[in-house]
Amino acid sequence: MKFIQIAFIAIALSFSTHASAEPAKAETIQKILEASDATKMASMVLDQMIPLLKRQLSGAPEDFWLQVRQEFGGKELMEMIIPVYQKHLQESDAQEIYKFYMTPAGQRLIKAQPIIVQETMMLGQQWGQQIAQKIIARHKAMQEELAKKKKS
């Protein structure tokens, strides 16, 4: 009985400390995004999209593309991203993340992260293709085995 009371107290305390934790502030998240070059990443995505769109919209003049670049520079995306960070991070954690990004190791991570993401995405695609081939081969073998059993 004593164990149950202690368990209830522990659960109640964990809920109260979690509930009282302050969600990350938009300003802190903005600092993290700026420090981690997330705004540059959004700009890089736009840099990749515009040439593709230019081919599809070949009649658009160059000043149209300059206006597009200015209007969709990444600020809108950052405003969409901030609530996601706030949903998953507490203010104290966000401040520690920002502090880390300001360290030499954090700066090295920021510089390396775009290529790390690119390389891991390529590896993930390769892995996915290999898995798909194995699943298809396994399915084919199963179908052949079933066909043999039906003939027997």
Q: Angle at the Cα of 100 (from 99 to 101), degrees rounded to 5?
A: 90
Instruction: Judge contact between 74 and 39, C-beta under 8 A.
Output: yes
Assigned domain for 82 exists: yes
Does 37 share its domain with 94?
Answer: yes
Share of the chain above pLDDT 70, in %: 87
Asked if the structure places residue 129 within a domain, the reply is: yes
pTM as predicted:
0.63
The answer on 123 and 94 residing in a single domain is: no
Q: Is residue 84 part of a domain?
A: yes
65 and 33 within one domain: yes
Give the pLDDT of residue 86: 96
Mean pLDDT by 10 residues, the chain (152 residues): 54 51 93 87 81 89 88 82 95 96 95 90 94 95 92 82
Amino acid at 79: E
10 found inside a domain: no
| Distances 102 to 5, 93, 134, 136, 149 between C-alpha atoms, Å | 45, 14, 45, 48, 66
Judge if 133 and 61 occupy the same domain: no
Overall number of domains in the chain: 2
Q: Are residues 67 and 120 in the same domain?
A: no
Angstrom distance (rounded) from CA 113 to CA 90: 23
Given 61, 78, 102, the domain boundary residue is: 102
Assign 3-state DSSP to the chain and report helix, strand, coil percentages, each to 5: 85, 0, 10
| Same domain (yes/no): 95, 118 | no
Note whether 52 and 82 are same-domain residues.
yes
Q: Is residue 7 in some structural domain?
A: no
**Domain span holding position 81:** 19-102
Q: Assess whether 59 and 125 both reside in one domain.
A: no
DSSP 8-state code for residue 127: H
